[in-house]
Amino acid sequence: MEISILTIGNELLNGSTLNTNASWIGKSLTKLGCQIKKQITVKDNKGDVENALNTLLINNPSYVIITGGLGSTSDDITRDIIFNYVGVKKNFDKEYWLKLSQYFKNSGKNNFDFIKNQAYIPSSGKIIPNPSGSARGFNFNFKKSNIIVLPGVPSEMKKMMTDSIIPDISSLIKNKYYSKKLRTTGIPESFITANIKDEVLIDDNCSIGYYPSAYGVDLTISGYSLKKVKNLSVKIETTLKKNIYSKNDDSLEKVVVGVGIKMDKTLAVAESCTGGLLGSRITEVEGSSAFFKGGVVSYSNESKIDILGVKRSTLKSFGAVSTQVAAEMAERIRKLFSVDYGISITGIAGPSGGTESKPVGLVHIGLSSKLNTVVKKFIFSTSRSQIKIKTSQAALNILRLELVYGR
């Protein structure tokens, strides 16, 4: 089943609001076995909305799902645009208006004429109830497609999709579109495409999507044959091997915590340039207390000396951002918390503070166990926030490789 998505709103285009609706709808329907063919975002403008609909309806998708512009402000004009586009009249729902009026009166509000437009309904088509708000949705059979119109408020849209739309779509799916997700880290997109090029060429009945981010590259293998999707996934898994950390939506921290608990291991961290981000990510995982025992943000040299016990002579000789300091930090934090593993991070997140020999983005990550201590060096050439994310991801991956493969 093919689906197209249209999100409407000036705020989505000017960047003041993140377009989470398109992402959530796409992800939810892909899991059902639908294929998302197109997604367009336009401003609150009649001509733009109509042009987008013309484009989306060219190939007769089973559904076009529209969000946004059903509220009560002057720029909420989607209702009138869609009614006119599908050729239905606008009728005033007196019963619903009385219900809305009573609700606002009970809330102590006397002036509520501004929401009167939400009482208008089409002369034909279905009304989609909104359990969480006042703006109802609509469902039209138009040409060979179903046009679904929903409010742009994410919580309201999700509830309406879950209650009214997804069950209907699920019951109608005949030719299911299958997807398999593989999450990688520690390998650039260019290396991935070069390594799996032969596998892609062998099976042209499946498509592969590449989605790079600061956390790594996610791959989505999709096609109408479950067997072929599985076979291609296995080929890619065999090629990329240790670079794949998840075969679903699990984050790297969830994978690491799960493996650590299963192996009955414990961890503590000493962070400098990441400022506690690594510990924060780990503690976002439910049940992480069985694995993670604590951490220290030793941002200054004095805290490295006074709290962790890093030697002043080591800092003086090699500097805070060095293999030697990272090694001592990892060893000290492991002993301080009496855990199986200690991870340390020290680096230069920028944008200032770099030198020719130690540029911005230089990071040293240490991993200490009772057997030995190793330190790995990285240089991440991006923004401060991206460097922090990439560093925490690299640290988690170093630990994952140790836990799963013994490095």
Between the alpha carbon of residue 390 and those of residues 8, 147, 229, 316, the distances in Å are 33, 41, 30, 27
Same domain, 295 and 227: no
Same domain, 272 and 320: yes
| Cα 94 to chain centroid, rounded | 42
Average pLDDT rounded to a whole number, residues 129-152: 96
Same domain, 136 and 224: no
Same domain, 161 and 12: yes
Same domain, 27 and 157: yes
The tens digit of pLDDT for each residue in 15-53 reads 999 999 999 999 999 999 999 999 999 999 999 999 999
Q: What is the CATH number of the domain that holds 214?
A: 3.30.70.2860
The tens digit of pLDDT for each residue in 343-357 reads 999 999 999 999 999
Q: What is the pLDDT of residue 113?
A: 77
Same domain, 314 and 328: yes
**Which residue among 246, 262, 279 closes a domain?**
246
Q: Is 75 exposed, middle or buried (0-12, 13-18, 19+ CB in 10 A)?
A: middle
What residues form DSSP beta bridges with 92?
120
The tens digit of pLDDT for each residue in 190-221 reads 999 888 876 665 666 788 999 999 999 999 99
Q: What is the CATH number of the domain that holds 153?
A: 3.40.980.10
Same domain, 266 and 139: no
Q: For 290, which DSSP code?
A: G
Same domain, 123 and 187: no
Q: What is the CATH number of the domain that holds 400?
A: 3.90.950.20
**Which residue among 229, 246, 263 closes a domain?**
246
The tens digit of pLDDT for each residue in 236-274 reads 999 999 999 999 999 999 999 999 999 999 999 999 999
Domain boundaries, position 275? 252-405
Per 3-state DSSP, the chain is made up of helix, strand and coil in percentages (nearest 5) of 45, 25, 30
Same domain, 217 and 150: no
Same domain, 34 and 167: yes
Same domain, 81 and 24: yes
As a whole number of angstroms, the distance between CA 225 and CA 275 comes to 46
Q: What is the pLDDT of residue 203?
A: 60
Buried b / exposed e along 298-312 (16+ C-beta atoms within 10 A): bbebeebeebbebee
Average pLDDT rounded to a whole number, residues 172-179: 90
Q: For 74, which DSSP code?
A: T
> Which of 86-95, 111-120, 153-162, 353-362 has the lowest average pLDDT?
111-120
pLDDT band at 110 (very low <50, low <70, confident <90, very high): confident
**Which residue among 246, 264, 283 closes a domain?**
246
The tens digit of pLDDT for each residue in 289-319 reads 999 999 999 999 999 999 999 999 999 999 9
Same domain, 27 and 163: yes
Residue 31: CB atoms within 10 Å: 11
Average pLDDT rounded to a whole number, residues 311-340: 98
In the chain, the number of structural domains is 3
